[in-house]
Structure 1
Amino acid sequence: MTARVAITGLGSLSALGPDIAAHLAGLRAGTVGIGPTQGVDVTSMKTKISAEVRGFAPEAHFEPRQLGLIDRTSQFAVVVARQALRDAGPALEGVARHRAGAIFAASVGFHAVDDSYHKLYAEKAPRPHPFTVPRAMPSGQVSHVTMDLGIHGPSFSIASACSSASHSIGTAFHMIRSGMLDVAVAGGAESQITFGMLKSWEALRVLAAEGCRPFSKDRGGLVIGEGGGAVVLENMDRAIARGATIHAEMIGFGMSADGMDITAPDMASAAASMRFALEDAGVKPEAVDYVSAHGTATVLNDKTETAALRQVFGDHLAKLPVSSSKSQYGHTMNASGALDCVTTVLALREGFLPPTMGYREFDPDCDIDCVPNAARTAPIETAISSSFAFGGLNAVLALRRYNG
């Protein structure tokens, strides 16, 4: 069985705002959600900026008894999964108990870990919080999503660093296309804005001091963000039969591994994952109208990604818009593929090109149309969303505008 796969629900939470409406408005306006870090004391750090989710009130979403059991990352996951399912309407109604699943990015509950270390070593407490382990476990977010939404089918977490959410969405896509599932909620969430993780990223020397400037010659590194994104994927025939609003169609998924270096990307492997996504979708490179790039704004990543794009698209790259929304909501790590997928779906649905903000200077190593500093109206029929993670784990999603 090979079924078409519809995207019928969207959810987002990021530095651009608390929901899809805010996310879309921010993308169109070129809003930059990066600013001085407020949730962590960064006095001792060189990097004092991040892309925080401001104004998030856990008590508005969870009962008091739940708050001791669920880390900030899992809170984000549940919130965006609820949004996506609400947007999808009665997607779970009439589905057999084990025919709906949830696949989410794996992510450590870093706030739970940081809090425990602080209690033990700063406050000299005799023991950490008794629920530190379930709050911190990497599969926590998908467990909480299944419990919150009442999902009983195949559900699990995927760990592939910054590609985790894209791998999760792509896996859910394949499970529906093959007939294993009728409906899936997929995505990812992450919050690494803690003292320990910010210091760790600073030690790696990849953080920008001033801002995120993908593909600009003066780019200085990535900016840590937090948030989450989720999509509801559904068998197309079923979605049409129940009268669902279909935001876009997922048509392909490609994967590869560099097998070379834990931090440095490999051009050939990145190119392979894009080609595999297009082959899976049955789409020729010249039919692609937009690329949502991984675009972290490190010198090596952007140069390598541009070379990979050149290998895949050849002369077509000269007229192919390629932008990085991490310039607006930061690098949300294991959640980034989900937010980038949501961004790509909105671009297809609404007919516009999300911008690359902060762009200042042309780089001959990144000779692409990166949609600099302002969104543009454009008819987009086919797009890809790329994730190229530390450790060389690559995942690319192919999507198409739904025209009925």
Structure 2
Amino acid sequence: MMTKGNGTRRVVVTGLGVVTPIGLNVADFWSSMKAGKSGVSELGGFPLEDLKILIAAQIKGFDPKVQLKGYKRDKIIMHADRYSWFAAAAAAEAVEQSGLEFPLENPYRTACIIGSGAGGLTTFENAYRDLFIHNKRATNPLTLLRIIGSSASAHVGIEYGIKGPTFATCSACSTASHAIGIARDYIQNDLADVAIAGASESVINYGTMKAWQALHVLSPQGCFPFAKKRNGTVLGEGAGILILEEYEHAKRRGATILAELSGYGMASDSQDMVKPTVEGPSFAMNMALEDAGIEASEIDYLNAHGTATRDNDINETRAIKEVFKNAASKLAISSTKSMTGHALGAGGGIEAVACIKAMQENWVPPTIGLDEADPECDLDYIPNEGRNLTVNYAMSNSFAFGGLNAVIVFGPPPA
């Protein structure tokens, strides 16, 4: 059995799946990134009433009947919440790429950890509109099942006959990275051989827009991470899912190994709900590097949390400098949220896929809309156009409200 130096089992990635505002699958998502395409558009699909923020990165043209036509075992997926649809579609794409035959021989050694920052919020809003505005006497009988934050993991688990640990993580914008890290720990520590891991989010509705508007962190113009002109983030939606496997398990079945999940770190600021520290993100990055057994200078590409909020971008820049020291100025960094918007809990899953694609293709995606950088954000944020770059190791940062930090490092497939 191939283990790391500390005796734990090695974990590799064999499948990727996404649903995003710039592509409903990995191929379309990646070609949009190559074109520097923005998924931000005019808000629509529900009554806008008195909203002041009128843009979001919404997913257009997602038809569950088309996207989920392969689902056989899960009888009610078509009646699920939109966030469960996104998770189901991304999981199906990742499973197909992995070549795994489900249900697996030992379903109790398979995990399905798909998180969500908010679960079925659109269902909530529709149910409350029915009850309180339209004076209906009851809600749809499936309302409860649609709302639950673990529904996506349950739907996917049912479809693929997964009987091992199946649940959701919830840590705001770090949700997906925590899910992927926990799944990795289960495989590393011999509780599972295979895991479907990531997160899904679909919360763009009137109530959510009002709530975010009240916090004054949304931009009326667009998502411009690290730019001098930035004035807030843009809400997005979608899902990002990975298939993780124990290395020998993947090798035995002749799987194509896309990357190794080499390192994982997490830390909490334990200070403030919205104001980040430098210390928490720095500790999580250092922990992920230590776990991967590499030096900071060995990271070739960093997918930043990069939300385009005033404090966050400056703070992340400082944390990167703290961790990377002299190597910080040579590091290629970008915020792909400039294209996808901020998909909240799903962000880390979508960004993990971007990291692995960057490694496969030796091309790193840009931070679009970066015409003039904030003087306090003075690192190489790959402005406006992606570039060719050999990527052996990539890091993905997820830093959430509440000061919840999770960092993942991907490395080359084990030789």
TM-score over 0.5 for the pair: yes
Which residue in the other structure is 1:378 paired with?
A: 389
Trace 1:1-400 onto structure 2 (pairs within 5 A).
Answer: 1-60=7-66, 61=68, 66=76, 69-90=79-100, 92=102, 95-106=105-116, 107-400=118-411
Alpha-carbon contact 2:265-2:407 (below 8 Å) kept: yes
Measure how far apart 1:7 and its partner are: 0.4
Pair 1:312–1:115, CA change in 2 (3 A): same
Counterpart AA for 1:346? K
SS of the residue 2:360 aligns to: helix
Measure how far apart 1:241 and its partner are: 1.8
Pair 1:355–1:403, CA change in 2 (3 A): farther
Measure how far apart 1:76 and its partner are: 0.7
Write the distance in 2 (CA, Å) between the matches of 1:370 and 1:163. 21
Alpha-carbon contact 2:65-2:78 (below 8 Å) kept: no
1:401 to 403, 406, 412: 412
Measure how far apart 1:298 and its partner are: 0.2
Counterpart AA for 1:259? S
Write the distance in 1 (CA, Å) between the matches of 2:65 and 2:411. 38
> How many residue pairs end up in the alignment?
404
Measure how far apart 1:92 and its partner are: 4.4
SS of the residue 1:6 aligns to: strand
Counterpart AA for 2:114? F
Unaligned runs of 5+ in 2: 1-6
SS of the residue 2:76 aligns to: helix
Deviations 1:320-369 (A, max 9, x none): 01100000011001101100101111111110111001112121211110
Write the distance in 1 (CA, Å) between the matches of 2:134 and 2:76. 24
Pair 1:65–1:149, CA change in 2 (3 A): closer
Write the distance in 1 (CA, Å) between the matches of 2:192 and 2:163. 11
Alpha-carbon contact 1:6-1:246 (below 8 Å) kept: yes
Counterpart AA for 1:89? G
Unaligned runs of 5+ in 1: none
Stretch deviating more after TM superposition (139-148 or 34-43): 34-43
Write the distance in 2 (CA, Å) between the matches of 1:362 and 1:324. 13
Alpha-carbon contact 1:32-1:327 (below 8 Å) kept: yes
Indicate the RMSD between aligned Cα atoms, in angstroms.
Answer: 1.5
Counterpart AA for 2:9? A
SS of the residue 1:102 aligns to: strand
SS of the residue 1:47 aligns to: coil
Stretch deviating more after TM superposition (33-42 or 339-348): 33-42
Counterpart AA for 2:226? F
TM-score (norm 2): 0.94
Write the distance in 2 (CA, Å) between the matches of 1:188 and 1:37. 23
SS of the residue 1:223 aligns to: coil
Alpha-carbon contact 2:334-2:382 (below 8 Å) kept: yes
Alpha-carbon contact 1:349-1:401 (below 8 Å) kept: no
Measure how far apart 1:68 and its partner are: 6.9
Write the distance in 2 (CA, Å) between the matches of 1:366 and 1:41. 38
Stretch deviating more after TM superposition (174-183 or 311-320): 174-183
Pair 1:139–1:123, CA change in 2 (3 A): same
Measure how far apart 1:93 and its partner are: 6.4
Alpha-carbon contact 2:224-2:308 (below 8 Å) kept: yes
Measure how far apart 1:207 and its partner are: 0.4
Alpha-carbon contact 1:69-1:134 (below 8 Å) kept: no
Identity of aligned residues (%): 39
SS of the residue 2:46 aligns to: coil
Pair 1:263–1:31, CA change in 2 (3 A): same
Measure how far apart 1:169 and its partner are: 0.3
Alpha-carbon contact 2:103-2:160 (below 8 Å) kept: no
